[in-house]
A and B are shown apart, each in its own frame.
Chain A
Amino acid sequence: MTNLIEAQDISGEHYNFAYLDEQTKRMIRRAILKGIAIPGYQVPFAAREMPMPYGWGTGGVQVTAAVIGKDDCLKMIDQGSDDTTNAVALRNFFVETTGVGTTTKTKDASIIQTRHRIPEETLTKDQVLVYQVPIPEPLRFLEPRETETRKMHALEEYGLMHVKLYEDIAKFGHIATAYAYPVMVQGRYVMDPSPTPKFDNPKMDQMEALQLFGAGREKRIYAIPPHTNVVSLDFEDHPFEVTKFEQPCAICGAENVYLDEVILDNDGNRMFVCSDSDFCEDRRAAGHVGLLGTNPLDADKTTEEAE
């Protein structure tokens, strides 16, 4: 990915600030304003080709590029981590095309672009959370035709969505959807919260930060303003339940956070650790310790470095 960017010679010297031309930014900015005015409604926009494949989050990148200014501080996360290939490549893209400062600290960021996770730390009104969205249409798997889903949204015809969720209950005894769990925004639009785990859904409700969603391939932008009601769809007899983890984070001891399973060795030993790596590091820096005491992966790293 980094090589791809270098191969195409992207640098602040040769490209406009944040890569996009001003006409494209204006078009995206207008779509963002409409999205904010109509929370949860998918605004069509003329997405541009970006110097990265669609799966890399081109929608989120275009939204960030239209919003970001030279005084911003950007945090880029993928699966809760700042260090994955995707996060590193996209962060480098913005460093090269804007020269803005970056951070891994949630509280220091003015813009956070994410794939999959919402940071554990509560976001504030001065922050913007930008989601990379692969499939923006929550009704797509029920109805493949765009003309039809558009009508369903217009008429608030969300009965099929409830039927699908109820089929889950009949089949599994609970709603099996664990990611991209549909939400109702301000009592009007059913919205797909991108591939975030449903664990994060409650964080979207009444969040103080502005949430912007960009889908590059499907050319949609949508938004949740601060302090907006976001309710996960459920039934009276089967209320929405947040994923619960049986143990705390193995290395920082945090409870009620989203954990990733990490395989430790070929014998099948594993541990559960915070998916939000910044949150976990902060806790460990503050002296919190989990059952494993230290991070076994750090030990591996030290050994490797020693060799």
Chain B
Amino acid sequence: MSTQATASIFARAPAPGFSDPVHNAQSVFRAAMNAMAQPGTIQQLSDLALTPPAPLSVSATALVLTLCDYDTPLWLDADLAANDVVKNYIRFHTAAPFVESPAEASFALVANTKRLPAIASFAAGTSEYPDRSTTIILMVEDLKTGQGVTLQGPGIKTEKQFSVSPTPPVFWQQMQDNSRLFPLGVDVIFASDHQLAGIPRSSQISGLEA
């Protein structure tokens, strides 16, 4: 085999996943669990030597590697779905089947919030199985600026202020509609560079007019 051929094979091989798969996945899960159990709080991820292909962030990739496998149909936003390097990386590390329809997704990975379809287009579960719903992993720039909302409900003692940027203009209105579906609905995990925050369907959202 020529040097050139070898190089091209390596060029196509996906970047590595977790350096310590067992303990990395455990620590990322704990951050995700705390994010869901304490909506709107910021959960810091420990140092992960992850080098996912652009535009995937470390935190969103860590969530996918921790939670997805061949049992979890995964929906990608239009930019990601058109990106073969990203798809190869996720396929190689998780074996999750990609689905075209948001309503069939266990997980949705959204790198560009402008590409987020209507939240109601994802699976909200059924009245007998509300758990058969989509968890949206939304890549964001930061968890401190942007439109602020007030969260109330399980996991929150009184109320919690939450800001995230960027979000599409209709996002919070749609999230309010989503929480009215409770116990049905989607759950959202926001992933900035090395931080996570969650808003499960059980959170009531107010303060939009501000």
Contact = CB atoms under 8 A, between A and B. Distances in A.
B151 to A, nearest CB: 12
Contacts of B128: 150-151, 153-154
Nearest to A17: B22
* Residue of B25, B37, B69 contacting most chain A CB atoms (<10 Å): B37
Given A17-B22, A210-B33, 14 more contacts: A26-B67, A27-B71, A29-B32, A32-B33, A37-B36, A43-B131, A69-B30, A150-B128, A150-B129, A153-B128, A225-B36, A225-B37, A227-B157, A228-B154
A228 B131 CA distance: 19
Contacts of B32: 29, 33
A154 B201 CA distance: 16
B171 interface: no
21 contacts: A17-B26, A23-B69, A26-B66, A26-B67, A26-B69, A27-B71, A30-B67, A34-B187, A36-B33, A36-B155, A38-B183, A38-B202, A39-B154, A39-B202, A41-B131, A67-B29, A151-B128, A155-B127, A224-B154, A225-B36, A226-B157
A67 B38 CA distance: 16
B156 interface: yes
Contacts of B155: 36, 225-228
A189 interface: yes
A186 interface: yes
Contacts of B153: 186
Contacts of A30: 67, 72, 106
Contacts of B57: none
Interface string B60-72: 0000001111011
Nearest to B29: A29
Interface residues of B, number: 40
Contact of B183 (A16, A32, A41, A69): A41
B201 A37 contact: yes
Given A33-B32, A210-B37, A227-B154, A69 B201 contact: no
Contact of B38 (A38, A44, A125, A155): A125
Interface in B70-116: 71-72, 106
A contact residues, range: 35 or more
B23 A17 contact: yes
Given A22-B25, A38-B131, A43-B131, A189 B187 contact: no
A69 B72 contact: no
B206 interface: no
B84 to A, nearest CB: 25
A66 B130 CA distance: 22
B161 interface: no
A44 B125 CA distance: 13
A226 B128 CA distance: 25
A226 B182 contact: no
Nearest to B183: A38
Contacts of B183: 38, 41, 188-189
B21 interface: yes
Given A38-B183, A39-B202, A29 B38 contact: no
Contacts of A174: none
Nearest to A32: B33
Given A25-B25, A151-B128, A33 B36 contact: yes
Contacts of A171: none
A143 to B, nearest CB: 14
B33 A22 contact: no
Interface in B1-53: 21-23, 25-27, 29-30, 32-34, 36-38
Interface in B104-157: 106, 126-131, 133, 135, 153-157
Q: Enumerate the 3 nearest inter-chain pairs by beta-carbon distance, A residue then B residue, closest first.
A: A37-B200, A225-B155, A154-B127
Nearest to B39: A225
Contacts of A228: 154-155
Contact of B30 (A67, A188, A223): A67
Contacts of B26: 17, 25, 68-70
